[in-house]
Structure 1
Amino acid sequence: MNKQIPFHRYIISLICVAIISGGGVYMLMNQATMSSSEEASQDELAKVHALYHTIQENYYKKVDKNALIEGALAGMTDALDDPYTTYLGKEAATELNNSLSDSFEGIGATLSLVEGIPEVAQAPIKGSPAEKAGLKLHDKILKVDNQETNGKELTDVVQTIRGKKGTDVTLTIERNQEQFDVTITRGEIPIASLQTEIDKQTHIGKIQIASFNESTAKELKEAIQDLRKKGATSFVIDLRQNPGGYLNQVEMMASMFLEDGQTIVKFATDDKVLGESKASKELDGGFKVKEPVAVLVDGGSASASEIFAAALKESADIPIIGTSTFGKGTVQTVSDFGDQSEIKMTVQKWLTPNEEWVNEKGLEPTIKADFPKYAYFPPLPKDRTLKKGDESETISNLNTFLNALGYETIGNTFNDTTEEAIRDFQAKKNITVTGEVNSETAVLIEIDVATQLQENDQIYNKAVEVLTESKE
């Protein structure tokens, strides 16, 4: 997905390792092995076999046979010109499965890259191997099993630290300018797919759902029950930047908000509707949410998120607040070849209860609301210093950020007013006052802007307004 991400969520992503990813809606399948090549027509694959042998016999240097096969498999899915149908090698398949799982095996520490060095970005998960080993916030990880981390991609470092439960990994840590090694035994780390909080003043329970993984429906039911005990009389379901997940989970979750018999989603081929899923006791176990509800969406809400929002919008007349969603209207299955590689393949499209196909256009919210424009600006550069006399769109963005923080800065020129604002900002942050924007100053400006956007979340505020009015 390449639609815009709100700035405050982008900044959060800079200081967190994304555990949940994917961007799809997946049908659960048995891990059935794919059909063997003996079942394929040899005539149809004659050219493939001929090319394979020709390359092996005549290419000017030694050929990796496995690389040829993997390339051929990837080429077949690429030829479909479907971004959601992909051949997944072992590593990619593992990554997808982890992204949809409710747990992973590792140490339980969230990392960020700070000037090229991985750093512990949050206190380790309580009870995790990282916490038991004494890792602390801001610990720098210089080496993993004696391999330097400087300059490596964060995802590569994370994958190296992760590993099978019960195995050891040795990290070289720098803390307060001291270096030491810590050996940690990996364990199973649960992944919470949602977060909750209650506004005691309005009695609104807010539930932010990051993805639809293996246990999200169960987590949602428990969250609603807990929030009710805390006094919640209405709910906000936040699906912003939620890329999707398992179809069975979104069906169970949507059913909780609909009356039995109401349509959740319909399934179709190019020319006809094949069937539909309806709310029922079989899906939700008889657990229903009768309180007023509002759903938040944005351009990062995709696939399963769109199914949920469309079901509540069209079947239950529940307000959907935010911006147009991503627009992914297809369903994928994941099938195993038997050697840890997989194929993720589109098998049908899904339609809203009113038989609208949101693919490539998105679901329109009931009520439009958005962050200010600067929420979608790109981050400030960290590889160069911005200073007086500079003139560019980047400086215009800088001045807008500063203006949002209360400084009287405008225009695309780094002028006296900009310099004065930077000096004041640096003094308040107790960092070296230079009047120039280096990497440290840029990060602190972005964090303050992100915090302000979170504290003045216009989309959430609109939901509060709607729910408050519904009680009057």
Structure 2
Amino acid sequence: MTDKRLKRPLIWLMVSVVTLITLCLPLQTAEGFNWFTGQEIEEPLTEKDLQKLIEVYNTIQTDYIEEVDKKQLLEGALKGMVQALEDPYSEYLNTDESDSLNETVEGEFTGIGVQFMMENGQVKVVTPIEGTPAAEVGIQPNDVILEADGTELSGMDTNEVVRIIRGEEGTTIKLKVQRGSSVIDLEITRARIPIITVTGEVAEADPSAGVVKITQFNGTTYDELLEVIDDLRQQNVTSFVFDLRNNPGGLLDQALRICNLFLEDGQMIMHIEEGTGPVYDYPASDKEYGESQVTEPYVVLVNKGSASASEIFAAAIQENTDALVLGNQTFGKGTVQTITNASELGELKLTSARWLTPNKHWIHGEGVAVDEEIEVHPIYQSLVMQADEILNFGMRNEFVASLRAVLNQLDYDVELGDLYDESVVEAVKAFQTDHQLDPTGEVTGETAEKINQLAREYIQTHDEQLDAAIERLLELTEQDQAA
């Protein structure tokens, strides 16, 4: 394998740097990958080119109707240059965005330790992270964070909320929180919060099977995975489901080390191709990546939210072993990005290479096709009902489709579809009656909020796709034992 000299120990293959939790855990987007290519510039900027930029800048500074910030203009010019590439994975990161990315890479951040979702423009708590300041002061699931240090959060996007709530370690933040009909004031001291990327549990269906959930690949994921596997082995687990659904990717070095757990020395993990340049091979190597091995039977579970480094893992398993990859076709992110310090303003994240599967297949835009499809009910992709909008008879759209999916799964007499017909009106009236709401047959306000709540609770307590994967694992294990 050709040696590549790293500028810093980061090879990042991911599709967001901010975790956003909704009803069905959406995709997240971004990537980064650092190496030095040393290629010469074919068309360098000339003094005449630079003079054009200076002239535009000077004209804005002297003639624009309002006062303009120099840093803002420079940052805008840099972002605009990268946006001209029309590449969704290349971008100029300002210092705040760069810091957020680095926190993700390091595996921890400074904040209060709460997972939240944006629902109808409000910051709704999904859960406080155990052992964090948020949990210690008593923040609870379904709390709505109204204000942070006097700033109303309603209507903000996720990035704005994160920027306000996060801060320096040891500093305090005052929150106004709505819990039911009550509003309470809380003061919380920010702390370093570890990002846990691997969890494990013994399967309820059979104590010999273990479920290992890998949420992303950051700087601690490999060590976390070894610890979780060892813990499950001590609980007499003898087979595994490795769940990478909605895993957007992360650090390539972690993905390589984790792939190595399942492969023999010399088996190809992946290749990296620089444009029309050479192709670099990345084979499994205990000397390079560690001697630990997974020898138990296992299956891999993925879905359309599994991207980049997750797809490297899925493809390496699929093209090198007999283990099954189950679920749904993956996202299809086959490029890598270099991240370099461009100036004191931030960092440049630029697409610089493609990664290929062991068989040199480029999955970009296609994804990794699973060995066996496990379909899921549409409730798992349902949209959040908008409390300030009205859904009623005659409407046909994706929100109506989500409404029908939720009502169908909650055992109301309505089939899947996207038309708000008479059957939906009657089902909504029945739902409203069951939950002491005015039976109008329309979805808005309290009805929308109740539907969202029950859909979220159902998704959190039912995982049909995982149940099917465990069942398939047990079937395969029994077949191996019989043979």
Runs of 5+ consecutive residues of structure 1 not aligned to the other structure: 4-8, 31-38
Match of 1:325 in 2: 330
Q: TM-score w.r.t. structure 1 length?
A: 0.84
Shift in CA distance, 444/424, structure 1 to aligned 2, threshold 3 Å: farther
Match of 2:449 among 440, 445, 449: 440
Runs of 5+ consecutive residues of structure 2 not aligned to the other structure: 1-14, 16-20, 37-43
Match of 2:427 in 1: 421
Q: Distance in 2 between the 1:61 and 1:421 partners?
A: 56
Shift in CA distance, 146/390, structure 1 to aligned 2, threshold 3 Å: same
* Per-residue deviation, 1:226: 1.0
Match of 1:312 in 2: 317
Q: Report which stretch shifted further, 431-440 or 208-217.
A: 431-440
Match of 1:194 among 194, 198, 223: 198
Match of 1:460 among 461, 465, 469: 469
3-state SS of 1:403 partner: helix
Match of 2:33 in 1: 27
Match of 1:226 among 215, 219, 231: 231
Match of 1:157 among 161, 181, 184: 161
CA displacement, residues 115-134 of structure 1 (integer Å, 9 cap, x when unaligned): 54434332x33332223334
Shift in CA distance, 41/224, structure 1 to aligned 2, threshold 3 Å: farther
Match of 1:104 in 2: 109
Shift in CA distance, 381/470, structure 1 to aligned 2, threshold 3 Å: farther
Match of 2:140 among 136, 147, 162: 136
Match of 1:36 in 2: none
Greater RCO, 1 or 2 (C-alpha within 8 Å, sep 6+): 1
RMSD: 3.2
Q: Distance in 1 between the 2:456 and 2:185 partners?
A: 31
Letter of the 1:125 counterpart: I
Query: Does 2:346 correspond to 1:337?
Result: no
CA displacement, residues 130-156 of structure 1 (integer Å, 9 cap, x when unaligned): 233343344443321122233333442
The percent of aligned pairs where both chains have the same amino acid is 35
Q: Distance in 2 between the 1:395 and 1:82 partners?
A: 33
Match of 1:301 in 2: 306
Letter of the 1:256 counterpart: L
Q: 1:371·1:459 contact (CA, 8 Å) conserved in 2?
A: no
* Per-residue deviation, 1:159: 2.0
CA displacement, residues 163-212 of structure 1 (integer Å, 9 cap, x when unaligned): 01011111223446444432221110111012222215432211121111
Question: 1:37-436 to 2 correspondence within 5 Å?
Answer: 42=47, 45-59=50-64, 62-113=67-118, 115-122=120-127, 124-175=128-179, 177-199=181-203, 201-202=205-206, 203-339=208-344, 341-373=346-378, 375-387=380-392, 389-393=393-397, 394-395=399-400, 397-410=402-415, 417-429=423-435, 435-436=441-442
Letter of the 2:459 counterpart: A
* Per-residue deviation, 1:67: 2.5
Q: Distance in 1 between the 2:409 and 2:141 partners?
A: 29
Match of 1:33 in 2: none
Query: Would you say how many aligned residue pairs link Structure 1 and Structure 2?
Result: 450
Letter of the 2:147 counterpart: K
3-state SS of 1:348 partner: strand
Q: 1:301·1:326 contact (CA, 8 Å) conserved in 2?
A: yes
Q: Report which stretch shifted further, 133-142 or 448-457.
A: 448-457
Q: Distance in 1 between the 2:467 and 2:203 partners?
A: 16
